[in-house]
Amino acid sequence: MQVWFVYILRCRDGSLYTGIAIDVAKRFAAHQAGKGAKYTRAHPPESLELILPCANRSIALKLEYAIKQRSAADKKRWIAGETPQLPAFYCDEQQLWQLCDA
């Protein structure tokens, strides 16, 4: 099983960027070098704020989308340590994010 990660970056202008990667440190370095996403080329990242391990790429993509639908205030509360309200997901005993069975 390949673990994927959803991460949230804080950009120099205070905005937040959410993405996925297998190697978050390598991806963060790419963002900082201007070789990451188009958004982070225009809004250079200054810090890695949150990393969420996911059971696989599919779940990471779905969790990334769910997070991107949330307000910046919700994301900031999550970064501060509050538990998010994402009803389709749960964190299992191995601390991996999973999808709830429908």
Task: Look up tokens 């991107």; give the residue.
Answer: 68
CB atoms within 10 A of CB 78: 20
pLDDT tens digits along 39-66: 999 999 999 999 999 999 999 999 999 9
CB atoms within 10 A of CB 57: 13
Percent with pLDDT over 70 in the chain: 99
CATH of the domain at 31: 3.40.1440
Answer for the pair 3, 22: CB distance below 8 angstroms, yes or no: yes
Q: Which domain holds residue 95?
A: 4-99
DSSP, collapsed to helix, strand or coil, labels residue 68 as: helix
Give the mean pLDDT of 80-93: 80
pTM: 0.90
How many independent structural domains does the chain possess?
1
